[in-house]
């Protein structure tokens, strides 16, 4: 008889997360309903630039491919910049985000997975973040999962000052462009990046195809691949989690990989781990420099 695993301890409502989510979306909606006070084309441009900087560079490149999976090395100053960008997405501190994501990979789609897609689309998309569960939010456990960087002073600073850092960006945006830049650059931008990231945990564990047989629900979902900066090629990612490149077939466009490849060309990203697909459909890690073959 197999060993019976205990279920995660009881969850309780994370009231701060719920209120924060509602406030951010209510303020973001003023961009639609009160355009006379909150709209300008420059504000939309700032929002789009910051969506890319905090979503692709911050979450996908910084938090996910660099910090969680160590798919490549970066000079410390550049790593700090990307992790700062990720922190500005207000999804979680670097330590919590990475710790929970490592739990996700260790036990994908089970009760030990914070975003457990087996509990349905709503749960894996957003519902999970509205609850605190001892197994996923225990500080000691998160530190255990992030031993390789949790003693880093700058990451500790970001982890303890997520809201002040966001507020500083808000002040800068206000001084440069007034209320419209704050509404679009902070609130609309946060709402957009939330949806991009959350779609990876929900849609890319439900709809799409698989290139590789994995023992989880992760799929390659083309529209998540497009809106979430290449992270929607999620079956590839679960099969080869250390790969800096997620899109492996010619049509699997992976814009975050384009940036990493550019950093490699500049000599800034080194020791890249890259997966490749063979003509017969099998995959493997390609060790070495980024060449045509990769």
Q: Which residues bind Zn ion (CB under 5 A)?
A: 218
Distance CA 231, CA 61 (A): 10
Residue with smaller CB distance to Zn ion, 198 or 218: 218
CB of 148 to Zn ion, least distance (A): 15
**Residue 178 CB, nearest distance to Zn ion (Å)?**
38
Determine how many CB atoms are found less than 10 A away from the CB of residue 102: 16
CB-nearer residue toward Zn ion: 189 or 217: 217
Read off the DSSP letter of residue 276: E
Q: What is the nearest approach in angstroms of Zn ion to the Cβ of residue 285? A: 15
Q: How far is the CB of 191 from Zn ion (least distance, A)?
A: 22
Contacts of residue 159, Cβ cutoff 8 Å, sequence gap at least 6: 87, 93, 94, 95, 96
263-159-224 Cα angle (round to 5): 55
Question: What residues does 275 pair with on adjacent strands?
Answer: 285
Q: Which is nearer to Zn ion, 74 or 218 (CB)?
A: 218
Nearer to Zn ion, 67 or 218 (CB): 218
Which residue number is nearest to Zn ion in terms of Cβ? Answer: 218
Tokens (6 digits) for 106: 């260790």
CA distance 50 to 186: 9
Backbone angles phi, psi at 287, to 5 degrees: -95, 135
Nearest distance, CB of residue 122 and Zn ion, angstroms: 16
Query: 33: which 2 tokens?
Result: 């309903």
The smaller minimum CB distance to Zn ion, of residues 122 and 157, is found at 122
Joined tokens for residue 102: 């490592």
Spatial CB neighbours of 273, under 8 Å, sequence gap ≥ 6: 69, 70, 71, 72, 242, 243, 244, 285, 287
To Zn ion, the closest distance from the beta carbon of 223 in angstroms equals 16
């Amino acid at each position: 008889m197999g060993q019976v695993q205990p279920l995660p301890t009881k969850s309780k409502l994370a009231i701060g997360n719920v209120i924060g989510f509602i406030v951010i979306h209510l303020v973001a909606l003023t961009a639609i309903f009160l355009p006379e006070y909150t709209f300008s084309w420059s504000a939309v441009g700032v929002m789009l630039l910051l969506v890319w900087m905090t979503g692709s560079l911050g979450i996908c490149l910084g938090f996910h491919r660099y910090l969680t999976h160590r798919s490549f090395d970066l000079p410390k100053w550049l790593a700090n910049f990307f992790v700062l960008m990720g922190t500005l997405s207000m999804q979680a501190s670097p330590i919590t985000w990475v710790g929970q994501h490592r739990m996700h990979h260790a036990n994908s789609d089970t009760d030990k997975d914070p975003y457990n897609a087996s509990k349905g689309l709503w749960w894996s998309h957003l519902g999970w973040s509205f609850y605190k569960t001892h197994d996923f939010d225990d500080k000691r456990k998160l530190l255990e999962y992030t031993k390789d960087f949790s003693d880093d002073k700058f990451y500790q600073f970001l982890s303890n000052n997520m809201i002040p850092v966001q507020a500083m960006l808000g002040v800068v945006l206000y001084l440069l462009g007034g209320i419209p830049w704050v509404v679009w650059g902070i609130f609309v931008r946060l709402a957009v990046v939330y949806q991009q990231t959350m779609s990876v945990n929900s849609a890319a564990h439900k709809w799409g195809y698989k290139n590789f047989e994995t023992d989880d629900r992760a799929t390659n979902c083309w529209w998540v691949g497009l809106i979430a900066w290449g992270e929607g090629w999620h079956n590839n990612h679960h099969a080869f989690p250390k790969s800096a490149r997620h899109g492996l077939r010619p049509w699997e466009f992976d814009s975050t990989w384009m940036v990493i490849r550019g950093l490699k060309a500049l000599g800034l990203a080194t020791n890249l781990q890259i997966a490749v697909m063979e003509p017969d459909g099998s995959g493997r890690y390609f060790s070495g420099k980024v060449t045509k073959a990769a």
